[in-house]
């Protein structure tokens, strides 16, 4: 059975392919179109489809559109009411609904040969739920979808038993933790439904001194749902324009909303545990990318394990919708094998691209050793290996790497990427060494979705990746699943004594992550990076970049 999943309605358009119950491909449109987040979530862009990523998924598996058994579209227009029904009074919803209704015809046009009757609508939050509950390794689990909005809801609580979803609660709009956080993002001068992680980073600089005022305005209701009343954020700190300097008040506001969000999420997690008694909580929805909140949920709820879909934002609904429909068609679906579900390239393909670009390149005996040598000399490395990641984080396939032992490297990395100085960079650490360096958060942590405390004796040894509040958002590297990355960090450890490297996504500010070899060469050509490690090859910058 061949099911293509599609997310298109708001932002992060993406496609995913499930064949005989197995996830074989998933990719975000932005990696192909080179347009960050694929599109802005505006009503008149709701018709736009992830055409390039969908075509690639099919090509990757050698499937023609007419061979598909179903296309799963992660939004059901029949469940969407009028702008008044939702209480959001967003006139654009009329257009969104209409475009979603027409999606089968749009899809048949984009994928010639597809029968539009094969397109099935999947409730948005069921698609999110499946992206967590059906993609996680634990087959039975409780699930929370923590989103901005779907057709008429912003949240879902439920459980999966033997692959079947039982919905236990859903919060209807206009109450929405995701939309409330987006409002704050906009208030702080950042881009709504894109830059929420910057608010989370800013929160770590502030104190939650407005918590008392916010407690009534944002609260769990004890029945699995919650309330978010309208908040005039300017009562706490004035609205900021783009690139305007933020003050202590702004950081305190961010810290207060962040803390209140965490408290409400812990309440929701406790509720769904009470109802289900499950050991594992799975989560998806954009708010589940909030790694500070995820860590608190794990620490303060009774769940033993928390598994978060790495593509927790809307991109992940392409995968969830496909898994859900595959199960409806009678398949026993399997957990996702990892996040490396995007495009990959053979050594020959990469070499041909290097020859086309007419750059000098070498094939060292071991690319891991060549990279470790440059990193140990405090150089910066662009690392392009294997299939690209599904979801917003670089997980050792399209990464920018550096030495974690120099405080000045944080500013240097943010300069290379051309982004704000308060943004942290994260460590990749050898799995077996992680427990001695990082505490509190879960280990293993393969998808960078939790924060950990850096052990006091390690803070001075890895200052680049130790955030201002003493935490780090780690990725643990398992030698079984990431042998090459593990070998590279081990080679770095032999030279420096540090089983940790700095990892940030391979892109520059405002651009999507690098996906194909040409993107990698373009990024390497324009940013002060010492080495590009691409497949088994390396390209060296002839002039040494300045070392801090
Ligand atoms: Fe969503």
Q: Give 294-297's long-range contacts (Cβ < 8 A, gap of 24+).
A: 294/449, 294/450, 295/440, 295/441, 295/450, 295/451, 295/452, 296/262, 296/265, 296/266, 297/262, 297/265, 297/266, 297/269
Q: How many angstroms does the Cα of residue 61 sit away from the middle of ligand 1?
A: 27
**In the structure, what pLDDT confidence band is assigned to residue 159 with cuts at 50, 70 and 90?**
very high
Q: How many CB atoms lie within 10 A of CB 411?
A: 12
Q: How many angstroms does the Cα of residue 318 sit away from the middle of ligand 1?
A: 11
Taking the CA atoms of 186, 188, 190 and 194 in sequence, report the sign of the dihedral they define.
negative
Q: Is the pLDDT of residue 426 over 80?
A: yes
Over residues 114-127, the pLDDT tens digits come to: 999 999 999 999 99
Q: How many angstroms does the Cα of residue 37 sit away from the middle of ligand 1?
A: 13
pTM of the model: 0.96
More confident residue, 508 or 7: 7
Q: How many angstroms does the Cα of residue 194 sit away from the middle of ligand 1?
A: 13
The least confident of 200-204, 322-326, 454-458 is 200-204
Q: How many angstroms does the Cα of residue 309 sit away from the middle of ligand 1?
A: 13
**In the structure, what pLDDT confidence band is assigned to residue 320 with cuts at 50, 70 and 90?**
very high
Q: How many angstroms does the Cα of residue 7 sit away from the middle of ligand 1?
A: 9
Report whether 405 contacts 517 (CB < 8 A).
no
pLDDT at 144: 98
Q: How many angstroms does the Cα of residue 150 sit away from the middle of ligand 1?
A: 6
124-133 vs 316-328: helix crossing angle, rounded to 10: 90
Q: How many angstroms does the Cα of residue 535 sit away from the middle of ligand 1?
A: 34
- Per-residue pLDDT, averaged over 182-199, amounts to 91
Report whether 73 contacts 122 (CB < 8 A).
yes
Q: Is the pLDDT of residue 155 over 90?
A: yes
Q: How many angstroms does the Cα of residue 171 sit away from the middle of ligand 1?
A: 13
Q: How many angstroms does the Cα of residue 492 sit away from the middle of ligand 1?
A: 39
Q: How many angstroms does the Cα of residue 50 sit away from the middle of ligand 1?
A: 16
Cα dist from 517 to 16, 60, 139, 352, 356, whole Å: 22, 17, 37, 10, 11
Entry field: residues in the chain: 548
Q: How many angstroms does the Cα of residue 221 sit away from the middle of ligand 1?
A: 22
Report whether 477 contacts 490 (CB < 8 A).
no
Report whether 138 contacts 309 (CB < 8 A).
no
Q: How many angstroms does the Cα of residue 148 sit away from the middle of ligand 1?
A: 6
Q: What is the CA radius of gyration of the chain?
A: 23
pLDDT at 415: 85
pLDDT at 395: 97
Q: Is the pLDDT of residue 401 over 80?
A: yes
Q: How many angstroms does the Cα of residue 91 sit away from the middle of ligand 1?
A: 19
**In the structure, what pLDDT confidence band is assigned to residue 419 with cuts at 50, 70 and 90?**
confident
Could you say which DSSP state residue 7 is in? E
Beta strands in 450-534 (DSSP E): 452-454, 471-472, 475-477, 500-505, 531-534
Q: How many angstroms does the Cα of residue 161 sit away from the middle of ligand 1?
A: 23
Cα torsion at 246, 252, 258, 261 (round to 10°)?
Answer: -130
Q: How many angstroms does the Cα of residue 316 sit away from the middle of ligand 1?
A: 9
- Per-residue pLDDT, averaged over 505-526, amounts to 92
pLDDT at 64: 98
Closest by CA position to 392, among listed 288, 255, 525, 520: 288
Q: How many angstroms does the Cα of residue 377 sit away from the middle of ligand 1?
A: 43
Q: How many angstroms does the Cα of residue 406 sit away from the middle of ligand 1?
A: 39
**In the structure, what pLDDT confidence band is assigned to residue 312 with cuts at 50, 70 and 90?**
very high
Reading the block at residue 204, the tokens are 């770590």
**In the structure, what pLDDT confidence band is assigned to residue 195 with cuts at 50, 70 and 90?**
confident
Q: How many angstroms does the Cα of residue 144 sit away from the middle of ligand 1?
A: 12
Q: How many angstroms does the Cα of residue 547 sit away from the middle of ligand 1?
A: 42
Q: How many angstroms does the Cα of residue 125 sit away from the middle of ligand 1?
A: 7
Q: How many angstroms does the Cα of residue 199 sit away from the middle of ligand 1?
A: 19
Report whether 50 contacts 39 (CB < 8 A).
no
Q: How many angstroms does the Cα of residue 177 sit away from the middle of ligand 1?
A: 12
Share of the chain above pLDDT 70, in %: 100
Place of tokens 């140990």: 376
Q: Is the pLDDT of residue 44 over 80?
A: yes
Q: How many angstroms does the Cα of residue 290 sit away from the middle of ligand 1?
A: 14
Q: How many angstroms does the Cα of residue 74 sit away from the middle of ligand 1?
A: 9
Q: How many angstroms does the Cα of residue 147 sit away from the middle of ligand 1?
A: 5
Q: Is the pLDDT of residue 224 over 80?
A: yes
Q: How many angstroms does the Cα of residue 317 sit away from the middle of ligand 1?
A: 7
Q: How far is residue 274's CA from residue 223's CA, in Å, rounded to a whole number?
A: 11
3 state DSSP class of 507 = coil
Q: How many angstroms does the Cα of residue 175 sit away from the middle of ligand 1?
A: 14
Average pLDDT taken over every residue of the chain: 95
Q: How far is residue 280's CA from residue 474's CA, in Å, rounded to a whole number?
A: 21
Q: Is the pLDDT of residue 132 over 80?
A: yes
The least confident of 135-144, 349-358, 414-423 is 414-423
Over residues 435-471, the pLDDT tens digits come to: 999 999 999 999 999 999 999 999 999 999 998 889 9
**In the structure, what pLDDT confidence band is assigned to residue 548 with cuts at 50, 70 and 90?**
confident
Q: How many angstroms does the Cα of residue 312 sit away from the middle of ligand 1?
A: 8
Q: How many angstroms does the Cα of residue 108 sit away from the middle of ligand 1?
A: 24
Q: How far is residue 515's CA from residue 384's CA, in Å, rounded to a whole number?
A: 9
Closest by CA position to 196, among listed 399, 30, 41, 317: 41
Task: Determine whether 540 is exposed, middle or buried from the number of CB atoms within 10 Å of its CB (0-12, 13-18, 19+).
Answer: middle
Q: How many angstroms does the Cα of residue 121 sit away from the middle of ligand 1?
A: 14
pLDDT at 544: 83
Over residues 65-106, the pLDDT tens digits come to: 999 999 999 999 999 999 998 888 888 999 999 999 999 999
pLDDT at 509: 79
Cα dist from 278 to 80, 158, 199, 235, whole Å: 31, 11, 32, 41
3 state DSSP class of 384 = strand
Beta strands in 74-152 (DSSP E): 119-121, 141-146
Q: How many angstroms does the Cα of residue 525 sit away from the middle of ligand 1?
A: 36
- Per-residue pLDDT, averaged over 116-141, amounts to 98
Q: How many angstroms does the Cα of residue 266 sit away from the middle of ligand 1?
A: 20
Q: How many angstroms does the Cα of residue 151 sit away from the middle of ligand 1?
A: 9
Q: How many angstroms does the Cα of residue 73 sit away from the middle of ligand 1?
A: 13
Place of tokens 């997980």: 395
Q: How far is residue 176's CA from residue 296's CA, in Å, rounded to a whole number?
A: 20
Taking the CA atoms of 298, 307, 199 and 171 in sequence, report the sign of the dihedral they define.
negative
Report whether 340 contacts 387 (CB < 8 A).
yes
Report whether 427 contacts 502 (CB < 8 A).
yes
Q: How many angstroms does the Cα of residue 111 sit away from the middle of ligand 1?
A: 24
Q: How far is residue 153's CA from residue 147's CA, in Å, rounded to a whole number?
A: 9
What is the phi/psi pair of residue 356, to 5°?
Answer: -60, -40
Q: Is the pLDDT of residue 417 over 90?
A: no
């Amino acid at each position: 059975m061949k099911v293509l999943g599609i997310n298109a309605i708001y932002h992060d358009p993406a496609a995913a392919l499930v064949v005989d119950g197995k996830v074989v491909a998933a990719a975000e449109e932005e990696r192909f179109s080179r347009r960050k987040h694929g599109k802005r979530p505006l009503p008149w862009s709701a018709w736009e489809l992830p055409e390039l990523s969908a075509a690639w998924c099919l090509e990757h598996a050698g499937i023609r559109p007419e061979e598909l058994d179903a296309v799963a579209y992660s939004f059901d227009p029949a469940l969407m009411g009028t702008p008044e029904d939702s209480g959001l009074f967003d006139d654009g919803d009329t257009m969104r609904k209409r475009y979603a209704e027409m999606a089968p015809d749009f899809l048949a046009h984009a994928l010639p040969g597809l029968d539009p009757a094969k397109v099935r609508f999947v409730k948005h939050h069921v698609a999110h739920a499946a992206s967590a509950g059906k993609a996680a390794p634990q087959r039975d689990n409780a699930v929370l979808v923590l989103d901005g909005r779907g057709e008429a809801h912003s949240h879902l609580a439920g459980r999966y038993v033997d692959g079947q979803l039982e919905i236990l609660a859903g919060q209807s709009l206009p109450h929405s933790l995701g939309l409330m956080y987006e409002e704050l993002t906009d208030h702080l001068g950042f881009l709504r439904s894109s830059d929420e992680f910057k608010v989370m980073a800013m929160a770590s600089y502030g104190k939650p001194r407005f918590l008392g005022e916010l407690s009534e305005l944002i609260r769990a209701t004890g029945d699995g749902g919650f309330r978010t009343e309208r908040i005039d954020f300017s009562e706490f700190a004035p609205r900021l324009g783009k690139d305007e300097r933020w003050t202590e008040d702004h950081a305190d506001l961010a810290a207060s909303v962040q803390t209140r969000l965490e408290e409400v999420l812990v309440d929701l997690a406790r509720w769904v545990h009470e109802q289900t008694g499950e050991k594992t909580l799975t989560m998806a929805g954009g708010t589940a990318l909030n790694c500070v909140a995820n860590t608190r949920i794990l620490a303060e709820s009774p769940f033993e394990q928390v598994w978060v879909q790495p593509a927790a934002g809307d991109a992940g609904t392409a995968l969830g919708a496909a898994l859900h429909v595959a199960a409806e068609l009678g398949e026993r679906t399997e957990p996702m094998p990892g996040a490396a579900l995007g495009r990959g390239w053979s050594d020959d393909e990469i070499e041909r691209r290097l020859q086309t670009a007419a750059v000098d390149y070498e094939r060292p005996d071991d690319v891991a050793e060549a990279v470790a040598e440059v990193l140990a000399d405090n150089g910066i490395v662009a690392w392009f290996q294997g299939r690209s990641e599904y979801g917003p984080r670089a997980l050792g396939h399209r990464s920018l790497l550096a030495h974690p032992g120099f405080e000045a490297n944080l500013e240097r990395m943010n300069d290379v990427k051309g982004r704000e100085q308060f943004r942290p960079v994260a460590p990749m650490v050898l799995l077996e060494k992680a427990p001695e360096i990082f505490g509190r958060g879960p280990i293993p942590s393969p998808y960078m979705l939790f924060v950990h405390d850096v052990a006091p004796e390690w803070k001075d040894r890895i200052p680049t990746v130790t955030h201002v509040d003493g935490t780090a958002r780690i990725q643990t590297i398992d030698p079984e699943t990431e042998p090459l990355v593990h070998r590279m960090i081990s080679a770095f450890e032999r030279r420096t004594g540090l089983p940790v490297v700095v990892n940030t996504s391979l892109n520059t500010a405002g651009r999507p992550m690098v996906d194909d070899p040409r993107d990698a060469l373009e990024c390497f050509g324009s940013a002060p990076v010492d080495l590009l490690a691409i497949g088994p090859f390396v390209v060296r910058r002839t002039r040494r970049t300045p070392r801090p």
